[in-house]
Amino acid sequence: MCVFAHHPERPSGRCRWGLTMRERPTVLVLTLFSGEAEFDRCRSSLEQQEYRSWKQRVFENLPNAEAHARLYETIMAEGENFGLFLKLDADMFLADRRVLGDLVQVFEQYCDLDHLVVAVTDWMTERRIIGAHLFSNRVRWQSHAETLYVDPDPEFPGRKLVVDEPPRDLIVHAADPSPLQAFHFGAHRALQASQIYRKLSGARPHNARIQWQYLDSVWDHYERSGDRRLGLALLAADMVFRRELPATANEYSDVALLAAFGNADALDDGEIRERLEPRWGRPKVRRQTWAAALGPAKLTLVRLRDLRDRAASTFKGLLRKSEPTVKIGTGS
């Protein structure tokens, strides 16, 4: 684990927590690193922030579940030393110099805010996806044995806000992935989209639908750009759907993942396209590919959850009930 720090600058004023601005919170930035190509940009984007009261800790080359467990343990152990915690993975960077200060300001605007989720601008899908997480020092996690869904919501006394359409790009995700990084992305997302190795009792239909939408967007991006890395991501996803990659393929160190990547990376662009086209080339066929991987029972759960979510959204609309509009800065 590496530690990087900045000495805080103390502006004047007053914040919503009842603290003077001289006491604005120091942010502990927590980063999981497994060789991601964007790590230098992650570091440099922090160095360039106008908000200077931050430190960074990096957890390097750990298994996914262990890395997340250590990260959350750190948050719970450091609550007296830091006011806020930003989980900024090594494949993410802050889009401009004002982002960190603007995110801190949201917590100052909402004194009961404990968990802020902000959509990130993702290159693989060419869309905004969820997301980066910021926590107050009041959050707590329970231990669990999960190895795929390793980032559960914490428990906290206040509120959670989700900003799925920020007013500008705030955090950029996977802007220039390595081929292995892209291959891993496809395998990891496909394990969640298909839940192919999970029992029905452990199915997470909402997550399955969201992750499938991301993979569908990766195909659309691949169609537009022809970028080889996107093809590798889709090959990995297809191998998961075929059960040619194991449940452990969400780990960068997984032997099967690395062997499959070596074989896939040896293909030329035409061979990648030829392998993908029959199962991914048309929208209906693509969806059938995903449905077959899910299986009838889990697909039914996904459809039922989709109906429930649509009904809930309609009901909220009728009640004119909505989350508060969160204002995040004014741009760079």
Q: Residues 5-28: pLDDT tens digits?
A: 444 443 334 454 444 445 789 999
pLDDT bracket for residue 216 (50, 70, 90): very high
| Cβ-based neighbour number of residue 275 at 10 Å | 17
Per-residue pLDDT at 321: 61
- The Cα–Cα gap between 181 and 141 comes to 28
Residue 332 has pLDDT above 60, yes or no: no
> How deeply is 135 buried, as exposed, middle or buried, from its count of CB atoms within 10 A (0-12, 13-18, 19+)?
buried
Query: 139 and 121 in contact (C-beta within 8 Å)?
Result: no
Model confidence, pTM: 0.90
DSSP string, 229-273: HHHHHHHHHHHHHTT-S-GGGGSTT-HHHHHHHHHHHTS-HHHHH
List the chain domain ranges.
Answer: 2-173, 179-312
Amino acid found at 65: A
C-alpha closest to that of 219 among 287, 280, 289, 290: 280
Most confident of 72-76, 147-151, 310-314: 72-76
- The Cα–Cα gap between 186 and 231 comes to 9
Strands (E), the chain: 2-5, 27-33, 54-60, 84-87, 92-94, 113-122, 127-136, 159-163, 171-173
Per-residue pLDDT at 308: 93
pLDDT tens, position by position, 131-188: 999 999 999 999 988 999 999 999 999 999 999 999 999 999 999 999 999 999 999 9
Domain 2-173 is of which CATH architecture? Alpha-Beta Complex (3.90)
Read off the pLDDT of each residue in 29-50 and give the average, rounded to a whole number: 98
pLDDT bracket for residue 238 (50, 70, 90): very high
Per-residue pLDDT at 20: 44
